[in-house]
Structure 1
Amino acid sequence: MIAEQTLTEQYLRVRAHSETICRGLETEDYVVQPIADVSPPKWHLGHTTWFWETFLLTPNLPGYRIFHEDFSYVFNSYYETVGKRVLRTNRGNLSRPTVAGVYAYRAYVDEHMSRFLDTATFSDDLLALIDIGLNHEQQHQELLITDIKYILGHNPLLPAVDMPFVEYPALVIAPPVSIESGIYTIGFQHHGRENGAFCFDNELNAHKVYLNDTQLSGNLVTSGEYCAFIEAGGYQNFRHWLSDGWAWVNTNGVQAPLYWHKIEGKWWYYTFDGLKPVDPDAPVSHVCQYETDAYARWKGQRLPTEFEWEACTQSGGINWGTRWEWTNSAYLPYPGFVTAEGAVGEYNGKFMSGQLVLRGASVATPEGHSRPTYRNFFQPDKQWQFTGIRLANP
């Protein structure tokens, strides 16, 4: 967060950005849910508001009256501690509350949160919860963007919509980054608000790992480089794929990254500016871990581990932040990881099974919501985030 701002200003700035993301939407766009992984924009706006109401206002603001008694059932995501909820797959089936009703809910909660933040006395625990709330909303801002793209990118009209960033920036050319074999400290250090430092619990605890000599590419794989894999029959040759990845390719008939279309012999992709020719010099995006691993094998290289990736940022750094970068590391707890008590303890730890770690950030990541120790995580078949490829030498 920006140190010069008050808590109220920080809160209102983060909240405003969620609505800025949605400024180009029509009312009908807010309610669509094409697949289970994609939540309607209306739900994201309501869920982030519910988080503030449920975890901050209700237990801490004397006399606070909840906006609507049924909204917890509608907007709870996965917090078993809080109670029952609408199934994730059914979020797009709800015409009520209306979009206008969700914005009224946001205004109501923002008014009370502003009053609370202006007048409350804050314990360390309460400040930590506010930090989680701000970062939680920023996480949903990126999900808002990627979910909106999935909704519009699967509309046959492929409509354009205004978004506050450049999706496919020119690639910054950088030299490879090497680390020597040895012991490295991995994980977030200097945790605590007194240091102006926030991290999620899955970045703790800092610990030592031994790494061999490693070299990571200074550049992300470009769309042009990935095209070569496609044209070489990469999606038709089982030798490049892990068993689960090959099954995924064949079950789903995958032939290219998400949003790519071959028209009259040329590759195009859907962007927020509409359908555009694939830019061969831009970093490839919307590839799942199966695809990134197959591409690496085709090149005779591999994906880095999350520990190699973090160590390379310590050694002088790699150029990161354009795409979330898949690693070969399973999403598992660090040594000494402790699940917090209550609902907040459900935030990260319960998902440490069957998922892989991504490092860095993307063009859709909000400002101030990235750091070298950040551990994003998804199942290996997910394509809809702004995910890319960085290679490591064997």
Structure 2
Amino acid sequence: MRANPASEKAPDELLSRYRRVRQVSEALVASLSDADATAQSMDDASPAKWHLAHTTWFFETFVLRDHVRGYALHDARFAYLFNSYYEAEGARHARPRRGMLTRPTLDAVLRWRAAVDAALAEALPDLPEAARALVTLGCHHEEQHQELLLTDLLHLFSCNPLEPAVWRGAPKIPVPMPGPVRWIEGASGTVEIGHEESGGFAFDCEGPRHAELLHPHALADRTVTNGEWAAFIADGGYADPRHWLADGWAWVQAEAIEAPLYWERRDGVWTRFGLDGRRPIDPAAPVTHVSFYEADAYASWAGARLPTEAEWEHAAATHDPARGNQLDGAGPIEPRPSSGGPAFFGDVWEWTGSAYRPYPGFHAAEGAVGEYNGKFMSGQFVLKGGSCATPRGHVRASYRNFFYPYQRWQFTGVRLAKDL
């Protein structure tokens, strides 16, 4: 975590933010049964109940246990069940077996959350600055898990032959197909990227701010649409090895990949499964649930490439990260057609061609929280911009999301770039 100490919120303001974040998490599961919240569909995903519990464990462990004298853990066994990957916190339940935790029940987890919320509210006025900074980190951490909760739930429900909807979808309003991509010429020469030390909260991996050399290039003014992706499929894009990286082509062959995740052709029409059930794809909406391998292959087919992280961040730095189609509480979410004008935030996370590696001068924080990002800087690629499932206000131009190149259950999409 990086934060400007002078910008740490006053206790009352921080408590209000804490409560808002916690309430959103619970609103997201309000319509779920205990079974819905317990099941796990794959190793990469976690049950909704586990997300609620893990974020509570984070606050109870790193704030209440470590900074409140005399605090007694709600249930000491929960540390083993709901630690995620913090080696410094000891042994933990295996990630692929989180769906086996039928107990504690969803109601019991919610009662634990309420107890931790009450204890933190009582303790907050007397917490030292370092502990308040951990509360701030915990709020951002829980917002990350809100997005994961939704995408994991989507994957879980997609595995059910009934294809149930989490919520009713918004009414469809016909939108014309966007015109051809317009190219925005980017800066060239030496620029600075990374989070400003004086800019408030940021995760540790977003800094230090440093210089990058940009070569002449241009970025597309919007992301690739479903309709454009359907043309890629129709042209044999998934069957032509010329467009694919070797690892990507091996993945396509081994997994029999023929379309984005959740796409299915029914009665000659491409459909997609979403949190609102199965519907025909909207050809004007951004394509989503594509892997880095697919994004890179599409860019090759289109005669372009993926932007670098530095190109994307420098171009997005003048745009408002709180605008765009992002998560506002609980309710229907899906990528929406462009409303016109360059937009860099919301709808879909955008793959870059940049590996997720440390910036020059990066040092992980001391203690268990130092495991938050740094140890994952291997074999993954950076995504930028947030999605329709990202809580509004969570992202910024310097924000670095990261996934392995084959992963695509998140709301991941594609913006093209080209050399000039």
TM-score for both structures, normalised by structure 2? 0.88
What SS does structure 1 have at the residue aligned with 2:359?
coil
Report how far residue 286 of structure 1 moved: 0.4
Pairing 1:374-389 to 2, within 5 Å after superposition: 374-389=399-414
Q: Does 1:188 align with 2:210?
A: no
Q: Is the Cα–Cα contact under 8 Å of residues 169 and 282 in structure 1 kept in the other structure?
A: no
Pairing 1:68-87 to 2, within 5 Å after superposition: 68-87=75-94
**Structure 1 residues 291 and 8: alpha-carbon distance in aligned structure 2, compared to 1, 3 A threshold:** same
Equivalents in 1 of 2:73, 2:347: separation in Å? Answer: 39
**Structure 1 residues 338 and 276: alpha-carbon distance in aligned structure 2, compared to 1, 3 A threshold:** same
Equivalents in 1 of 2:133, 2:204: separation in Å? Answer: 11
Equivalents in 1 of 2:50, 2:301: separation in Å? Answer: 40
1:128-159 CA-partner distances (Å, limit 9, x unpaired): 21211110000000000100100111111111
**Structure 1 residues 166 and 46: alpha-carbon distance in aligned structure 2, compared to 1, 3 A threshold:** farther
1:153-199 CA-partner distances (Å, limit 9, x unpaired): 111111111289999996887843212321100100143xxx5x110
Report how far residue 360 of structure 1 moved: 0.7
1:319: which partner in 2? 343
Identical counterparts, % of pairs: 48
2:183: which partner in 1? 176
Which amino acid is the alignment partner of residue 319 of structure 1? A
Q: Does 1:260 align with 2:263?
A: yes
**Structure 1 residues 190 and 175: alpha-carbon distance in aligned structure 2, compared to 1, 3 A threshold:** farther
1:30: which partner in 2? 37
Pairing 1:160-175 to 2, within 5 Å after superposition: 160-162=165-167, 175=182
1:135: which partner in 2? 140
**Structure 1 residues 61 and 3: alpha-carbon distance in aligned structure 2, compared to 1, 3 A threshold:** closer
**Structure 1 residues 210 and 244: alpha-carbon distance in aligned structure 2, compared to 1, 3 A threshold:** same
**Structure 1 residues 298 and 167: alpha-carbon distance in aligned structure 2, compared to 1, 3 A threshold:** farther
Equivalents in 1 of 2:174, 2:238: separation in Å? Answer: 26
Q: Is the Cα–Cα contact under 8 Å of residues 221 and 388 in structure 1 kept in the other structure?
A: yes
**Structure 1 residues 90 and 149: alpha-carbon distance in aligned structure 2, compared to 1, 3 A threshold:** same
1:152: which partner in 2? 157
Report how far residue 126 of structure 1 moved: 2.2
**Structure 1 residues 328 and 166: alpha-carbon distance in aligned structure 2, compared to 1, 3 A threshold:** farther
Q: Is the Cα–Cα contact under 8 Å of residues 172 and 219 in structure 1 kept in the other structure?
A: no
Equivalents in 1 of 2:61, 2:318: separation in Å? Answer: 42
1:292: which partner in 2? 295
Q: Does 1:269 align with 2:294?
A: no
Q: Which moved more, 1:26-35 or 1:223-232?
A: 26-35
**Structure 1 residues 146 and 177: alpha-carbon distance in aligned structure 2, compared to 1, 3 A threshold:** same
- Of 356, 360, 368 in structure 2, the residue corresponding to residue 343 of structure 1 is 368
Extract unaligned runs of 5+ from structure 2. 1-6, 321-341
Which amino acid is the alignment partner of residue 345 of structure 1? G
Question: Which aligned runs of 4 or more in structure 1 are off by greater than 3 angstroms?
Answer: 1-5, 163-175, 314-318
Equivalents in 1 of 2:97, 2:262: separation in Å? Answer: 25
Which amino acid is the alignment partner of residue 122 of structure 1? P
Report how far residue 127 of structure 1 moved: 2.6
Extract unaligned runs of 5+ from structure 1. none
1:75-121 CA-partner distances (Å, limit 9, x unpaired): 0000000110001011011111111111111111111011112x314
1:356: which partner in 2? 381
**Structure 1 residues 239 and 31: alpha-carbon distance in aligned structure 2, compared to 1, 3 A threshold:** same
What SS does structure 1 have at the residue aligned with 2:232?
helix
- C-alpha RMSD of matched pairs (Å): 2.3
Equivalents in 2 of 1:50, 1:180: separation in Å? Answer: 44
Equivalents in 2 of 1:275, 1:322: separation in Å? Answer: 18
Equivalents in 2 of 1:168, 1:369: separation in Å? Answer: 28
What SS does structure 1 have at the residue aligned with 2:88?
coil
Report how far residue 27 of structure 1 moved: 1.7
What SS does structure 1 have at the residue aligned with 2:238?
coil
Q: Does 1:304 align with 2:329?
A: no
**Structure 1 residues 93 and 249: alpha-carbon distance in aligned structure 2, compared to 1, 3 A threshold:** same
2:227: which partner in 1? 224
What SS does structure 2 have at the residue aligned with 1:55?
helix
Equivalents in 2 of 1:332, 1:85: separation in Å? Answer: 27
Equivalents in 2 of 1:2, 1:13: separation in Å? Answer: 17
1:369: which partner in 2? 394
Which amino acid is the alignment partner of residue 33 of structure 1? Q
1:262-300 CA-partner distances (Å, limit 9, x unpaired): 111110001121110010000001000000000000011
1:113: which partner in 2? 120
Q: State how many pairs are aligned.
A: 388
Q: Does 1:103 align with 2:106?
A: no
